[in-house]
Amino acid sequence: MAMHRVDLRVASAAGLIFSLLLLASLFLASAPAAAQGGPIQPLEQTERPLSAQQQRAQQLALASAPVQRYVQGSRAEVFTILPFRDPFVPAYDACSDGACYQVDIFDFQQQATITAIVHLGSDQVLDAWLLPGAHPLIPPALYQRAVEIIQNDPDVQAALGYRPTAAQTRLMDPSNADTLCSGGRLCAGATFVTDSGAVWVIVDLHEERVEKLWWEEKPYDIRSNQIDPKPEAPPEDCGVTLHLARDGWNLDYRTTGSDGLEITNVTRNLGGVDRPVATRIKTMEWHARYPTGTGYVDYTGCGGGAGGGFPIYNYGATQVRDLYDNANTLIGFAVVQDFRMSNWTADCNYRYEQHFEFYTDGRFRVKTGAYGRGCGNNQLSEATYRPVVRMDLAVFEDAANTFSGWDGSQWVIRNTEGWWLQGGPYTAEGYLYRIVHENSGFGYYMEPGQGQFDDFGTGDNAYTYLTLQRASEGDGDTAALGTCCSTDHQQGPHVFVNGENVRNKNLVLWYVPASATITTWAVNNGYATRQYCWTDSTTQVWPCYSGPMFTPNTAESCSPLDFDCSFNIDSVDLTALASHWNCVAGEPSACYEARFDLDGDQDIDIGDVLMGASHWGCVLGDACYRP
């Protein structure tokens, strides 16, 4: 009997061991997906159609040790998987084969975006970084979840008097200082217009609940604007890079997923050589702030593929338009893209534009415009719009650029990163900043808007930020950087200002102007003489344009041997010099000009001609360009 009990115990132990081994084998059989992603939830095929390349990029990103180290807590999700597009910094040269992807992960606990740059050609993660207080375009399932929370909330239904449909629930990226939904927390907001008022709803997507619901009065009943809204339709022709060569300028342009229209690889012909001007310029996002301290972060572009996020889509194809002066003389061209919500002209439906203007005289302007129409009361309580513009300039080359500010009497070099609010003193021409290539001396003066550009602008009141160029700070499609509703320098780019040395380096300038709405009601009641950032109908619009003009420092950088300032010492210059041969200072013929007297001996003789001839063929940037 005792032996039988022992046998039973042995058999039971063996059975238990076998069962545990079986369970372990089952667990291990399903382990690779969990081990690969750790706590990160992948973007599923059922959520958004993924190509084989996107699936592989996601697998490599989730298996990456640096990505796993960045993740904290129990909830992180892949939100977007997008192509990572040129131009590339040297560390990403492998991406030149077109096989790189950007995988964006949102960490809910840290309220941060983790980005991995994946090269499929080598099955490697080239880089990974964490951006605090930011989030990518949310995936479709999370968008739909926010819509359902709003639709099914009894307080929302009571405030509206009906259950809103999905089409009526147009989500945007909200911020409200009186809620948790500020400073990087992931939330979704919607505004409904009904019964002479507006119902604002904010959903906290961390806890999946309505965070705040409130009412703002409007002066009249405009419910018809949202009874039968047009659906938002994502464009199908995005992400295509087009090249443009005109008037000595060369550039590429394309519409991004969430950073609007982007121009890249900008060059201008100087002395017969195409010289770099900018690597990449784009508008990262728009901040629409209302006097109550609430508002939205808007971003423009194609979205993340099959829906998701809150982008305001591009309306029509990118246009290349001629530019004329007041005398109707052709002076350049502009690359223009319109972005608008499908119900624009109705309250709380925004429209934005980007203009990149290039002039035959070498100037260029980075210009943005807001049309409204805001979510305020259509009177005095309306939006102030702040575009966040990123300008990765490359004057003459990507490196060796130096930034200066005007102090009233001279240009003062800024040696470290910083930010400045627009204000005097300005130069006589209206310049406030300057960026130059130290080796050649060539550069551009930067002229903020003060209402001088004949586009009804009222002045930019802009913050300008200077940072060292880093791919992790805006090269790819970048997450929402900050809240909409700060009135100080905390507009998003401030997080990249950390005191790094920027003298003679690869620089990025950020420009955040502010334009306050002036409604038709305000004009009719004597508060202003012209509307601004406002729309009454498709034909009655008053956009607010802002943005700096860049003017080449031609006279400052021109060689004294380059008499026509073409940045090339050629036969034209030598002919001009020779035409003054034998002219002497003070003679009655008055043919003497000091600029041709290169050796300063009061006459223009063979020595001057030989000095000029010895520099024949030298162009700006060559050591021989200057005497």
3-state secondary structure 285-335: EEEEECCCCEEEEEEECCCCCCCCCCEECECCCCEEEEEECCCCCEEEEEE
Per-residue pLDDT, averaged over 408-424, amounts to: 97
Whether 609 shows a pLDDT value over 50: the answer reads yes
- Pairing state between β 311-312 and 294-300: parallel
Distance (Å, rounded) from C-alpha 82 to C-alpha 54? 8
- Do 414 and 503 share a domain, yes or no? yes
- Give the phi and the psi of residue 152 in degrees, each rounded to 5: -95, 0
Whether 266 shows a pLDDT value over 50: the answer reads yes
- Residue 308 has a pLDDT of 58
365: amino acid identity, one letter: R
Whether 4 shows a pLDDT value over 50: the answer reads no
Per-residue pLDDT, averaged over 100-126, amounts to: 95
Per-residue pLDDT, averaged over 501-526, amounts to: 97
Whether 287 shows a pLDDT value over 90: the answer reads yes
170 vs 333, residue with greater confidence: 333
Instruction: State the pTM of this model.
Output: 0.89
Tokens coding 199:
């119902």
Does residue 222 belong to any structural domain of this protein?
A: yes
Does residue 234 belong to any structural domain of this protein?
A: no
Output b/e per residue, 580-610; b: 16+ Cβ within 10 A.
beebeeeeeeeebeeebbbeeeebbbeebbe
**What is the domain-level CATH number for residue 576?**
2.60.40.4130
Which helix (H) or strand (E) segment holds residue 80: the answer is strand 76-83
Residue written as token pair 């980007």? 354
- Residue 184 has a pLDDT of 79
Among the candidates 198, 226, 254, a domain finishes at 226
Distance (Å, rounded) from C-alpha 594 to C-alpha 609? 14
- Do 437 and 542 share a domain, yes or no? yes
- Do 565 and 550 share a domain, yes or no? no
130 band by pLDDT with thresholds 50, 70 and 90: very high
- Residue 480 has a pLDDT of 82
3-state class (DSSP) for residue 621: coil
**What is the domain-level CATH number for residue 63?**
3.10.450
- Residue 74 has a pLDDT of 76
Radius of gyration, alpha carbons of the chain: 30
Does residue 274 belong to any structural domain of this protein?
A: yes
Whether 602 shows a pLDDT value over 90: the answer reads yes
Per-residue pLDDT, averaged over 167-177, amounts to: 86
Are the C-beta atoms of 403 and 393 separated by less than 8 Å?
no
3-state class (DSSP) for residue 283: strand
Any idea what the Cα angle at residue 566 is, between residues 280 and 617, rounded to 5°?
105
- Do 466 and 572 share a domain, yes or no? no
Are the C-beta atoms of 242 and 264 separated by less than 8 Å?
no
- Do 412 and 526 share a domain, yes or no? yes
Among the candidates 226, 250, 276, a domain finishes at 226
- Residue 167 has a pLDDT of 85
Distance (Å, rounded) from C-alpha 484 to C-alpha 349? 16
Distance (Å, rounded) from C-alpha 207 to C-alpha 476? 29
Does residue 6 belong to any structural domain of this protein?
A: no
Percent of the chain with pLDDT over 90: 72
- Which residue pairs from 515-520 have beta carbons closer than 8 angstroms and sit at least 24 positions apart in sequence? 515/370, 515/384, 515/385, 515/386, 515/458, 515/460, 515/544, 515/546, 516/382, 516/384, 517/372, 517/374, 517/376, 517/382, 517/383, 517/384, 517/385, 517/544, 518/542, 519/378, 519/379, 519/380, 519/382
How far is the first Cα of the chain from the last one, in angstroms, to the nearest whole number?
Answer: 113
Distance (Å, rounded) from C-alpha 534 to C-alpha 142? 32
Tokens coding 423:
């204000």
Per-residue pLDDT, averaged over 58-67, amounts to: 95
339 vs 193, residue with greater confidence: 339
| E strands in 319-478 | 319-324, 330-340, 351-359, 364-372, 384-393, 401-406, 411-413, 418-421, 433-437, 443-447, 463-468
- Do 204 and 260 share a domain, yes or no? no
Among 438-447, 453-462, 482-491, the range scoring the smallest mean pLDDT is 482-491
Helices 606-613 + 571-578 axis angle, to 10: 180
Whether 8 shows a pLDDT value over 50: the answer reads no
Per-residue pLDDT, averaged over 218-223, amounts to: 55
Tell me which range, 38-47, 304-313, 609-618, is most confidently predicted by mean pLDDT. Answer: 609-618
Does residue 11 belong to any structural domain of this protein?
A: no
Give residue 286's domain range: 242-555
Among the candidates 177, 199, 226, a domain finishes at 226
Does residue 21 belong to any structural domain of this protein?
A: no
Positive or negative CA dihedral for 149, 152, 154, 155? positive
Does residue 574 belong to any structural domain of this protein?
A: yes
78: amino acid identity, one letter: V
Q: Is the bond preceding 5 in cis, omega lying within 30 degrees of 0?
A: no
Among 56-60, 202-206, 229-233, 354-358, the range scoring the smallest mean pLDDT is 229-233
- Residue 26 has a pLDDT of 34
Does residue 25 belong to any structural domain of this protein?
A: no
- Do 174 and 293 share a domain, yes or no? no
Residue written as token pair 């500010």? 405
Q: Which residues contact 362 (CB under 8 A, 6 or more apart)?
A: 248, 268, 551, 552, 554
- Do 195 and 257 share a domain, yes or no? no
Are the C-beta atoms of 64 and 117 separated by less than 8 Å?
no
- Do 543 and 565 share a domain, yes or no? no
- Do 537 and 613 share a domain, yes or no? no
237 vs 332, residue with greater confidence: 332
- Residue 168 has a pLDDT of 87
| E strands in 133-172 | none
What's the structural domain count of the chain?
4
> What does the mean pLDDT of the chain come to?
88
- Do 162 and 189 share a domain, yes or no? yes
- Do 358 and 483 share a domain, yes or no? yes
399: amino acid identity, one letter: A
**What is the domain-level CATH number for residue 360?**
2.70.98.20
Are the C-beta atoms of 581 and 605 separated by less than 8 Å?
yes
- Give the phi and the psi of residue 28 in degrees, each rounded to 5: -65, -30
| E strands in 438-535 | 443-447, 463-468, 507-512, 515-516, 534-535
